[in-house]
Structure 1
């Protein structure tokens, strides 16, 4: 299906260099494929008066008796370029003008090239094109960002990245390239490694890759604990009590944020809640999440019920995530979140410390993290919370929530074991 889609986008046509010339002029072949254009001089020349623009061939006229042989040569060009394009796709290679010219000229001369082994970057480009047809826009964006850094690294080395070169030596050098030369944080570097491993798993499944170094223990996804904050139930009450009637934009942002805080939904999901998602007789929200496609059922907290009632079950249209985050900081400041919070981040192997007011650290994702943490501290069973947040393992869930050592100890004090 995918190849049929790609083939359907490819076509060749022949045009004159100077269609109004009184003298012989060159014939060019234009081949359009995947939103690209390949232009090639056929070397053939013709008087424009003998050219049939509609058929893109020489007119069949006695005034130009060579027309059968001439048109046969053009047909060979047409056949060769289409064969070259299909050969690249069938070999799992993403076509570009350089490769297309190489294979096309070999086809034209009758010297069929041996199938060219697909490189790692060739596969990544092909895989991203495929992913555009069936994966979420956000996922494709992540893939393209990783591809950008891989390409720049390849250009720096002045050589292609093939599958055999993706080993532990590559891993160590590439991490240094991302963290030192590009000043990316440890967690961002880790996300790139995770994406590269996804590419390699897919290539291995398809038979393009036999090098399994990426599965070794040392070829690991880097991750450091995030300093993301959460808002306690008391802090959320302060948000709710704010009188923001004088600022409709802040009031709307505050209300949407609170819906996220008491449903645990991602920003992309809580802004999509519609009347049909509200099951009134069961007092819950049922919605299919954008990221995972799973259907979740969430009890309606009284705060959410009040907000839905305020808007007649039709939540206001949200601003973009970026704008929401900017306005949220204003709301958080007005609610009194002025305490200083120290955050750390690792760049180029060095830990950097920074002190910010808590309101500066609030974002739309704080809502989801607050939901999970507050429910955990309220002794809601972990498995029940994970059913809503979508965490697959308790380990990943416990890394996600924000519980201090003191809070954990307080929680344990009420456990029968300590009484």
Structure 2
């Protein structure tokens, strides 16, 4: 049974907020902006209409407009069925706008940039801070492109836009290829969401050539021997370095992200101090990790109450000091494509270490220790073996050494 309802974009707002039409039909969901706005204090959630209030004297006309839209979506759905057409979000949107095409009550069409701005506001309640930050950065570049090069809307997101936009990010901002790839991926996410809501019917962004750019990153990992050298450092004279070292090692032996290994609480230590059980912040997965002896020692040192972490940026700065003190100074050549050009740099290994090196080290060291890939993925959260294998860092020699113990070579 198809059913229409009206919901507020921000039901707890103190100022006017958009009203959306939500239409559930045949196990599908169609969401449509009415372009009408109301202060939530005048909204009756049960009736899904504006309250009859002397402080809102235009309520009869306002509710009549919502009635018109509700009748319009019901008529549109019924006509599609009567004409033998299977309803979907695209033809339902077209049929609804045809019903409202008298231009008296037809809602204003949402533009691409307006949609993205609204979607980012919605995401602040549902997505992680990091994800919202990526959304905002992508939005900033799109707005600047729209101002400097070509005004953007849904119909402009074509293969021609793709080529011009990648060149724009290369030339104007000298961005790394992987950064550009992240922004293309985010644009595709915006377009998918808009398409699902019936706001967009241009599907060029789904074409094979509208691809997410990805360059294999020259990231490093720390071996078990290197981690032991870090663990053996005498840092009692520097509380800040001692704290950073301990937190980093927790990450190296749990595989948790910085946002998770710095938030471990006593209640996360379970099964008679043999497991860490946490719900990850980024993916909301609940995972269980056996306690490595190094983790046990560090937890005991702090009575299962880990010290407060510095910010990620500050931790990365101090971490380089710690790894340098451990003598991990092997020269590493890295390359990155920026502005369409390959840049090569040679740096001592300690300068390439960051908090994320902990998670990569965990995955790589377990892989080299012959732990089944599926068992590691249960902790790291990788969905496919292909994505997992791109994540670990194994040299050709390490791979050969690993294969020496395989039955095929014996």
Matched, 1:157 2:149: yes
Whole-Å separation in 1 of the counterparts to 2:215 and 2:283: 24
Alignment of 1:367-378 (within 5 A): 367-378=358-369
Among 325, 337, 352, the alignment partner of 2:328 is: 337
Give the C-alpha shift of residue 32 in structure 1. 11
Whole-Å separation in 2 of the counterparts to 1:173 and 1:114: 34
Partner of 1:199: 190
Partner SS state of residue 169, structure 1:
helix
Q: What runs of 5+ residues in structure 2 fail to find an aligned partner?
A: 1-6, 18-36, 41-54, 70-102
Alignment of 1:234-253 (within 5 A): 234-253=225-244
CA gap of 1:227–1:4, structure 2 versus 1, over 3 A, is: closer
Give the C-alpha shift of residue 388 in structure 1. 0.2
Matched, 1:411 2:406: no
Among 243, 246, 253, the alignment partner of 1:255 is: 246
Alignment of 1:296-311 (within 5 A): 296-311=287-302
Whole-Å separation in 2 of the counterparts to 1:395 and 1:210: 32
Whole-Å separation in 2 of the counterparts to 1:229 and 1:211: 41
Q: What runs of 5+ residues in structure 1 fail to find an aligned partner?
A: 12-30, 35-74, 91-110
Give the C-alpha shift of residue 115 in structure 1. 3.3
Partner SS state of residue 281, structure 1:
coil
Give the C-alpha shift of residue 274 in structure 1. 0.5
Partner of 1:117: 109
Partner of 1:127: 119
TM-score (norm 2): 0.77
1:2/1:130 contact within 8 Å kept: no
Partner SS state of residue 227, structure 1:
coil
Whole-Å separation in 2 of the counterparts to 1:229 and 1:289: 23
Give the C-alpha shift of residue 181 in structure 1. 1.4
Select the structure with the greater relative contact order (CA < 8 A; seq sep ≥ 6).
Answer: 2
Among 367, 377, 385, the alignment partner of 1:394 is: 385
**Residues 126-147 of structure 1 deviation map (CA, whole Å, 9 limit, x = unaligned):** 1111111222222111111100
Matched, 1:324 2:315: yes
Alignment of 1:68-147 (within 5 A): 79=58, 112=104, 114-147=106-139
Whole-Å separation in 2 of the counterparts to 1:189 and 1:353: 19
Whole-Å separation in 1 of the counterparts to 2:258 and 2:291: 17
Aligned length: 335
Whole-Å separation in 1 of the counterparts to 2:354 and 2:181: 22
Among 207, 216, 222, the alignment partner of 1:225 is: 216
Give the C-alpha shift of residue 292 in structure 1. 0.4
Give the C-alpha shift of residue 410 in structure 1. 1.1
